Structure 1
Amino acid sequence: MNGVQLLLIIGIGIAVTAVARKKSVEPGWLIVVLAAGASFIPGVPRLELDSELILALVIPPLLYSATRGASMSGFGANLRAIIYLGVITVVLTAGVLGWLASLLLPSIGVAAAFVLGSVLAPPDTITTVSHGERIGMPKRVTSILTGESLVNDATALTLFTIAVAAVNGAHATWLGGVGEFFRTAGIGMAIGAGFAVVGLVIRKRLGNPTLETALVMLLPFTAFLTAEQAHASGILAVVTAAFSMSVNLALDPKHQYPGGYRTRLQEESVWQVMDFLLETFVFAYIGLQLRFVLHDLDEADDSAVVRTLIAAGVLLVAAVVFRFVAVFGLFGRWTAHYRSIQRRASRDPRFLPGRDRRRRGEPVAPPTAKETALVSWTGMRGILTLAAAAGVPEFTSSGEPFPGRNEIQAIALIVTLGTLLLQGTTVGWLARKLDFDLTAERAEYARMRAHGRQLARGADDPNADPDASFEAQRLAIGKAVMQRQLTEDVARDLIEEIDLRQAAHHIGR
């Protein structure tokens, strides 16, 4: 890929996005469709990027940006659902799709089939979450999908590593896989937390919004690459670093400093532009690979294209259907357990579920049927699937060609395109059709926002220095979050309001 190609992709992406938004159409899938069609135009060159380069340059900033807006309290409150989706469902999906692939493509072998299963296992819900409020998605669904997107990639990449090792002749076991997952996750999170601590210490000493923003933008890449070099989870390193930085910089009084408001406002704009550019490139890159992947298959074997297309169609349907089965099954089991506890509590007033055993209070209610249906339909595959497929080595450790490499890459691309077109184009329609009643949720948000504004006004001292007064207001908001009077998303909105007022004050001087 040269610079001219990249500029053309971004320029066309801007134009397509502008038209799509005017027509109330999701720009991502439209870019995918147009790019896939453009790949068949004679003379269109193939875009070739190393898979490790895609992972290192695209995944870290997208993950970091998505995590910045995530709520730690929301993550904790929905941890059970997130574990169901981000770990259990991914493992089950990889197993089912790998088994199906071994039946549909017996020539590639069982181990390579499970490589394909691990490649297809993780959904990419970041883009859906970013449009959640606009399409009428409940806050709880947004929190669940955000948490899933931050966990499932690490699970899938661990499975992918184990499956590739099995193809290379290594002895892999489920117990060993579990141990490897916890090892890579633990080291990755430790690395992410370490970089966050260093970033927090350095940032307040720079005293320049441009330098501070540059430091934060380097953080996801540094955390990811360091963790990968340590054979740990770069994804969890980025997630941990983003959580630590965003929460501490916005809400912890110890990490507030003069002029910090300017950096926060600048970063918000920078990350929005970064998200748009990366998402545009990713969707275009997905579509532009279609013709070339099919051509590679045709050159290898005259009948390979037909077999691969049939297998891709079956696996696409299986991926969509199995997510429904897994989500409804796991959430249904949760619902049955929750109702059983309620019935027992109604019969025995002395029964306190969870409080005596774990001191956690009342058990968290499972998602409703509508929420479960919407979560089930958000199974679009994305850039991680394609990057993992591209990362399948050309040769095994014995020097033989890696079995089924072309088929794995072609099926990954077709399934990704299919889920984007099938689910990505209809998830907004489904959310509106389910007609969620968000009245109580919006009323609670408005109540908290009003309470937060009241706290800020109470901390405002008209006789004090204006900057000190603004700082006192932010500290009051941060304290309210620590005391659980406000949620993190409400607090971030209020702090942004205070930052804007402070910036306007300085502009007007």
Structure 2
Amino acid sequence: MDRIELLILAVGALVVALPLASKLGLPYPVLLTLVGVAATLIPGVPEIAINPDLILPLLLPPLLWAAATRTSWAHIRANMRPILMLAVALVAVSAFAVAAVLAALLPQVPWAFAFALGAACAPPDPVAATSVAGQLGMPHRMVSVIEGEGLGNDATALTLFNTALAAAVAGGTISFVEAGEEFLAASVLGIGAGLLLAMIAGKILDWLKDPILAGAFTVVLPFTAYAAGEEIGGSGVLAVLAIGLVLGSASYHLLDAESRLVGTAFWSTLDLLLTSVAFILIGLELRPIINESGFDLWRHLGIGLAVTAALIVVRLTWLLAGGLFAQRFFHSAVPANWREALVLGWAGMRGVVTIAAALSLPANVPERGTLILIAFVVVLTTLLLPGITLPWLVRRLGVGKADPERTLREVAVRVVGAMNERIDELHADGDLDDDGAERWRQRCRRIVMAVSPSPETESLIQERARFRHMRAVNLELHAAAQAEALRMRADEEIDPAAVDRILRIIDRQIANA
């Protein structure tokens, strides 16, 4: 299967998986993975051949960038303690637990290689985690912790993985002091590279006035940050996170409205497409992994399930025991109780980083095929089991009580309040006459009415009816203009570029109607 076929499969699967996942109440990465598994088991479908060394540099930077630009640094800072406990400490403990299981069940595998696989299997996938958290209506503080953990744990895992591999290749033992020093150095260098690039990129984005050029420039930023972080011996993951968080927060100061709209639409599409490619890729790797594992398939699957069980038990124990400890001694708000701890513990789905890291194990590693199969079992089991049961668990425990509509109303009311205050100031200064001020107040009321209905009164019912009528008239007028513009576009004597500019203006006005 070549890259074009993979892209076609990803788009086709996405079109089917998104509405189906919404209907079934499941996270869509689970269905995408199943599509990949089903495709690779169809007779006649060739094995996919993608260099594992390219998976992380090609897929991880844009996915992390998209997640980082949507994330608020203020929320990460407010939940820094639980995020660090999950993204750093729990990853290290999980890697050690996996290595211990492998040492007992596969004693022929050197400890350093076992620890390397443990590091690969330790981090929950940021894409799966954020997609699940967003779908289930969890309280926002829990979503912030899940997103923060998903953004930071890859840096910890990959640093431990590289340290263990270096020790294994050199024939030595793992020094945890050395691993800690390397992680600290990689973090400082990676974050520093990301912040430096953010300063440079911010100046360039402020200078670029064309929305298309600005959007194209943002495409190269995550890859540049990742490569720069890795090149100087730092963490490429943290470099991408640093530049994404900074520029995501500064976008409203650097870019005009049209550039932000173009960039948001582009990155939403690219994020969705790359997510589908990543999880379909996990499923498509099934056949070559099974082929490489040899004939003792069932024994290897059993070891994979034992490793998966160890990861789940460690995470649940860490969240339940550690959460109670954090509440007692640090007054941590997350998790607030054992129910939230159980949900956070169950939401530890692994993904593309685990597969890519396992596939990058050197060819001379003892039981390499078995180790890769174990990683695949971990990913598939943690995607399917929590992915399918987590919605039920959230409902059963009563954790998912977030009301996004209420939050939307609160934001709209506060924004409109600020607009009305400014209208009053401009009116008092004489910059707006009475009619102009009233027209702008009506526009403000429409913002609130557009996001959510308020308690019904006779005046609000009439206002809402007028709003719907004016919107319908507005759409009719724009439809007439659009139809005439399209007829003119078919005229051989009229430059289609001029018509396209008018059509874009009409489209923007329709979108804002």
Q: Does 1:403 align with 2:366?
A: yes
- The 5-angstrom pairing of residues 107-506 of structure 1 reads 107-168=108-169, 169-170=171-172, 172-250=174-252, 255-256=253-254, 260-298=256-294, 302-303=295-296, 305-338=297-330, 367-394=336-363, 401-436=364-399, 438=401, 446-460=409-423, 461=426, 463=431
* Alpha carbons 2:128, 2:351 under 8 Å: kept: no
Indicate the residue corresponding to 2:450 in structure 1. Answer: none
* Alpha carbons 2:127, 2:275 under 8 Å: kept: no
1:404 shift after superposition:
2.6
* Alpha carbons 1:112, 1:404 under 8 Å: kept: no
* Alpha carbons 1:85, 1:152 under 8 Å: kept: yes
Q: Hey, what's the Cα distance between the residues in 2 that align with 1:280 and 1:440?
A: 28
- 1:386 to 1:212, Cα distance in 2 relative to 1, 3 A: same
One-letter code aligned to 1:406: G
Indicate the residue corresponding to 1:491 in structure 2. Answer: none
* 1:280-326: CA deviation from partner (whole Å, max 9, x where unpaired): 1111111111122111122xxx43x2331121011111111211011
Indicate the residue corresponding to 2:2 in structure 1. Answer: 2
One-letter code aligned to 2:269: V
Q: Aligned to 1:47, what secondary structure does the other structure show? A: coil
- 1:23 to 1:245, Cα distance in 2 relative to 1, 3 A: same
Q: Hey, what's the Cα distance between the residues in 1 that align with 2:111 and 2:417?
A: 63
Q: Hey, what's the Cα distance between the residues in 2 that align with 1:195 and 1:34?
A: 38
One-letter code aligned to 2:372: Q
Percent identity, aligned pairs only, is: 30
Q: Aligned to 1:23, what secondary structure does the other structure show? A: helix
Q: Hey, what's the Cα distance between the residues in 2 that align with 1:449 and 1:458?
A: 14
Q: Hey, what's the Cα distance between the residues in 1 that align with 2:225 and 2:354?
A: 21
- Count of residue correspondences: 437
Mean Cα deviation higher: 264-273 or 36-45: 36-45
Q: Aligned to 2:133, what secondary structure does the other structure show? A: coil
Indicate the residue corresponding to 1:69 in structure 2. Answer: 70
Q: Hey, what's the Cα distance between the residues in 2 that align with 1:439 and 1:183?
A: 39
Runs of at least 5 residues in structure 1 that lack an aligned partner in the other structure: 340-362, 395-400, 471-500
* Alpha carbons 1:16, 1:27 under 8 Å: kept: no
Q: Hey, what's the Cα distance between the residues in 2 that align with 1:421 and 1:388?
A: 20
One-letter code aligned to 1:265: L
- 1:202 to 1:237, Cα distance in 2 relative to 1, 3 A: same
Superposition CA RMSD, Å: 2.7
* 1:387-442: CA deviation from partner (whole Å, max 9, x where unpaired): 11111122xxxxxx222321221111111011111011222222222223747887
- The 5-angstrom pairing of residues 45-60 of structure 1 reads 45-60=46-61
Indicate the residue corresponding to 1:17 in structure 2. Answer: 17
1:454 shift after superposition:
0.9
Indicate the residue corresponding to 2:466 in structure 1. Answer: none
- 1:390 to 1:404, Cα distance in 2 relative to 1, 3 A: same
Q: Hey, what's the Cα distance between the residues in 1 that align with 2:239 and 2:232?
A: 11
Runs of at least 5 residues in structure 2 that lack an aligned partner in the other structure: 441-504
- The 5-angstrom pairing of residues 90-109 of structure 1 reads 90-109=91-110
Q: Hey, what's the Cα distance between the residues in 1 that align with 2:62 and 2:4?
A: 23
One-letter code aligned to 1:89: L
- 1:43 to 1:333, Cα distance in 2 relative to 1, 3 A: same
Structure 1 runs of 4+ aligned residues shifted over 4 Å read 363-366, 439-445, 501-509
* 1:98-120: CA deviation from partner (whole Å, max 9, x where unpaired): 11111111111222111111111
One-letter code aligned to 2:374: I
* Alpha carbons 2:112, 2:168 under 8 Å: kept: yes
Larger Cα-atom Rg = 2
